[in-house]
Amino acid sequence: MTGLVLSLATPFLVGPLTFLAMQGIKTANAFVDVQSPWFKRLLVAVIAFAVTMAAKVTGVEVVCSAEATTSCLEALSRDEVKAMVAALVAYALHFLKALQKKDA
DSSP states of 17-70 as a string?
Answer: HHHHHHHHHHHHHHHHHTS-HHHHHHHHHHHHHHHHHHHHHHTPPPS--TT-SS
Q: What's the domain range around 97?
A: 71-104
CA distance 76 to 21: 28
CB 76 within 8 A of CB 65: no
Per the CB < 8 A criterion, the answer to whether 72 and 63 are in contact is yes
**Residue numbers of the chain with a pLDDT score lower than 70:** 1, 61-76, 104
Q: Is residue 41 part of a domain?
A: no
| CB crowding 22-37: b at 16 or more within 10 Å, else e | eeeeeeeeeeeeeeee
Q: Per the structure, how many domains does the chain have?
A: 1
Domain-located, residue 87: yes
